[in-house]
Amino acid sequence: MGSSKPSAPPEEKGHRRLNWGCGDHVAPGWINTDIKEADGVDLVADIRDGLPIASGALDYAVSIHALPELPLSEQVPALGELLRVLRPGGVLRLGLPDLGKGIDAYLRGDHGYFKVEEDAASTPGGRFVTHMLWYGYSRTLFTSDFVEELLAKAGFTEVHERPYKTTGSPFPEITMLDNREEESFFMEASRPLASDADEDTYNARMPQPSGVKVLEVTHSTPNDLLRGHFRVQDSDQGLKLMGWALGKEEAVSQVEIVAGGVTVARAPVAVERPDIGEKFPDVPEAKTAGFQLVIAPTGRGESRLQIEAALASGKRAPLGSIHVVTSRPRRRGLFGRGR
């Protein structure tokens, strides 16, 4: 697998990039996705069911210590799904726990290398095993040559191990999520340039139940009028939006999704959110600042959906936007008018 010297790096602004398996480590300017709901997570999805992201939508993707939670049999399908959402020539960067480093630390008696509590394991072997399996959360162990093999099976090319905070790609900021240097290794791989026939294969690789796929998620809060956040989850009916909205000077009555100047969905801000109530104890409506709604496609094409909060005075405040592509049979308009 040959290497090539990247040309002068392009501007990072405007690149679409994915932080898969982000957990609590969300990053502004990225599409942050995880299987669990958490503050700052944009897309809640299980990669084994397919990500609600359009094929070829992303310039690069990063995953730090997320693959170990999948069993061995699911590694190649998961990597194949990450391949699908990258554009031809797009780059995947993986940060993974290094089994070789763990073995070396065990053999040289460096028991401080293993970041586990003494009451969980105190013997050298116990600390080694508990650390490498991370209390049972990790289900697959990795070495760099094994990951190279998995990436090749998934269809990636130009697979290389890279130093911490160093990239061979034309995207300097692809390394910004690197962490846990002393116990990790880092791999980069590219999606090959594909023909139309190859593209059809990538598109069919994983199920796409809703017909709505995300290209980009942006957030506009906090702003002068509003605090809040939202995330997106795939469902059989379409994309499900969940979040919270809290006005700074006045109450929020409802949240609306606007496409092409038309409101296509709306929902009251009335879902109980005790976590928001604890965060803003002096705001009475904070305890019920949550909302959720579903948008379903009626046509085919791309659309930028504006997420807005309607305030008690009639003012509107932006929560953010979602750039989507739909693949349902063509009908008039991409989305139906909300009720």
| Concatenated DSSP letters of 246-306 | EESSS-EEEEEEEETTEEEEEEES-B--HHHHHHSTT-GGGGG-EEEEEE-BSSEEEEEEE
> What was the pLDDT predicted at 329?
47
Inter-helix orientation angle 99-107/124-133, to 10°: 170
Q: Name the least confident of 15-19, 26-30, 200-204.
A: 200-204
d(CA 139, CA 251): 46
User: What pLDDT is recorded for position 70?
Assistant: 95
3-state DSSP call for residue 123?
Answer: coil
The mean pLDDT of 127-134, rounded to a whole number, is 93
Task: Go through 168-206 and write b for each residue having 16 or more CB atoms within 10 A of its CB, e for each that does not.
Answer: bbebebbbbbbeeeebbbbbbbbbeebeeeeeeebeebb
Distance CA 134, CA 115 (A): 9
Angle, helices 144-154 vs 75-85, to 10°: value is 60
Tell whether the model's pLDDT for residue 123 goes beyond 80: yes
Decide if pLDDT at 127 tops 60: yes
Structure-token match 């879902």, residue found? 271
**Right CATH number for 17-98+142-203 from 3.20.20.30, 3.40.50.150, 3.40.50.300, 3.40.50.11810?**
3.40.50.150
* Homologous superfamily assigned to 212-327: Immunoglobulins (2.60.40.10)
CA distance 184 to 115: 13
pLDDT at 3 over 50: no
Per the CB < 8 A criterion, the answer to whether 272 and 210 are in contact is no
CB 290 within 8 A of CB 276: yes
What pLDDT was estimated at residue 240? 85
pLDDT of 126 higher than 90: yes
pLDDT beyond 70 at 330: no
Which residues of the chain form CATH 2.60.40.10? 212-327
CA distance 21 to 314: 39
DSSP alpha helices (H): ranges in 143-236? 144-154, 196-203
pTM of the entire predicted model:
0.73
- What is the reported pLDDT for 260? 84
Residues 207 and 46: their CA atoms lie apart, in Å, by 12
**61-65, 124-128, 324-328, 330-334 — which is least confidently predicted?**
330-334
The position carrying tokens 């957030």 is 219
Which residue, among 225, 228, 233, has the nearest Cα to 244 in the 3D structure? 228
Please tell me the predicted confidence (pLDDT) of residue 92: 98
- Every domain of the chain with CATH number 3.40.50.150 lies at 17-98+142-203
The mean pLDDT of the chain is: 85
Q: By C-alpha distance, which of 12, 165, 201, 173 is closest to 88?
A: 201
How large a percentage of the chain has pLDDT more than 70?
Answer: 86
pLDDT of residue 296: 77
Say whether pLDDT at 8 is over 70. no
| Higher-scoring residue by pLDDT: 329, 279 | 279
Check if the beta carbon of residue 295 is closer than 8 Å to that of residue 305: yes
pLDDT mean over 145-166: 96
Q: What average pLDDT does the segment 206-213 reach?
A: 58
Residues near 154 by beta carbon (within 8 Å), at least 6 away in sequence: 76, 79, 80, 82, 83
Q: Is the pLDDT of residue 195 over 60?
A: no
Report d(CA 184, CA 110) in Å as an integer.
16
Inform me whether the pLDDT recorded for 339 exceeds 60.
Answer: no
